[in-house]
Amino acid sequence: MENAQLQEKLEKLLKAYAYYFDVERDVEVEGGSFSATADYHFREENYVATRAHTVYASEQHEYVYFYLTEHLDLETLKKEIDLSREAGAKKVNPHGEHMFSYVTLVILADTIDEDAKKALKRYRYRKNFWLTLRGWMEYHIAAMETSSMTFLSNPAGKEARKNLERNFQPKAN
């Protein structure tokens, strides 16, 4: 159901993500599929003399799911949120060195219903693992309505929204 204009925008966005993320196209997940996904992994560690004597280590991850549609309604939004959140949560591996994992849904749509916009802006999800001793997971959403060039996000998804704006907002002269 994706038109050529949305596909072009996805290609541009994936080029921006590919600098730091591992990008995969046409990804099947349990219960559905996404046009693309992007995974980011970062590990920082401090050690004494050799890596066998690690003093401190932390890991950060982000799992991004890209969804394209000509029209986004509330029912579809809820379905895609559940699908991406569950798929991302399966990738999270909480352990002593895990700091956080972000699961992000990026939506490119020609039009978005008003009730879907409201729900998107209000959606919050955060899960702590062992009282944050094994890190946490936070869910981000960012969307772009191409017909009005409107950019939206939930409170946690501001950085993903800014990435959409940097790539698609018309440049001021």
Lowest mean pLDDT among 59-63, 88-92, 169-173: 169-173
Q: Is residue 128 situated within a structural domain?
A: yes
Asked if the structure places residue 63 within a domain, the reply is yes
Of residues 63 and 55, more confidently modeled: 63
pLDDT of residue 19: 93
β-pairing, 98-112 with 126-128?
unpaired
> Which residue segment(s) compose the domain that 67 sits in?
4-167
Q: What is the mean pLDDT of residues 80-103?
A: 95
More confident residue, 129 or 51: 129
The arithmetic mean of pLDDT across residues 77-92, rounded, is 97
Position 172 in a domain: no
> Is residue 173 assigned to a domain?
no
Q: What is the pLDDT of residue 60?
A: 95
Q: Give the H or E element holding residue 164.
A: helix 158-168
Q: Which amino acid is at 144?
A: M
- Whether 156 maps to a domain, the answer reads yes
Cβ neighbours around 79 below 10 Å, total: 14
Q: What is the DSSP string of 14-64?
A: HHHHTTTSEEEEEEEETTEEEEEEEEEEEEEEEESSSGGGEEEEEEEEEEE
Report the domain count for the chain.
1
Res 113: pLDDT: 96
Q: Encode pLDDT of 100-152 as tens digits.
A: 999 999 999 999 999 999 999 999 999 999 988 899 999 999 999 999 999 99
**pTM exceeds 0.75, yes or no:** yes
When the pLDDT of each residue in the chain is averaged and rounded to a whole number, the result is 92
Q: Which amino acid is at 102?
A: Y
pLDDT of residue 173: 56
Q: Letter for the amino acid at 132?
A: T
In the prediction, which pLDDT does 24 show? Answer: 96
For the cut 50, the answer to whether the pLDDT of residue 59 exceeds it is yes
Please report, for residues 117, 168, 170, the alpha-carbon distance to residue 72 in angstroms, rounded to integers and kept in the order given: 9, 19, 23
Predicted confidence band of residue 6 (pLDDT cuts 50, 70, 90): very high
d(CA 44, CA 58): 5
* Phi, psi values for residue 51, rounded to 5°: -65, -15
What is the distance in angstroms between the CA of the first residue and the CA of the last residue of the chain?
35
CA separation for the pair 153, 50 (Å, rounded) = 43
Residue 2 has pLDDT above 70, yes or no: no
Write down the number of H helices and E strands in the chain.
4, 7
27 lies in some domain: yes
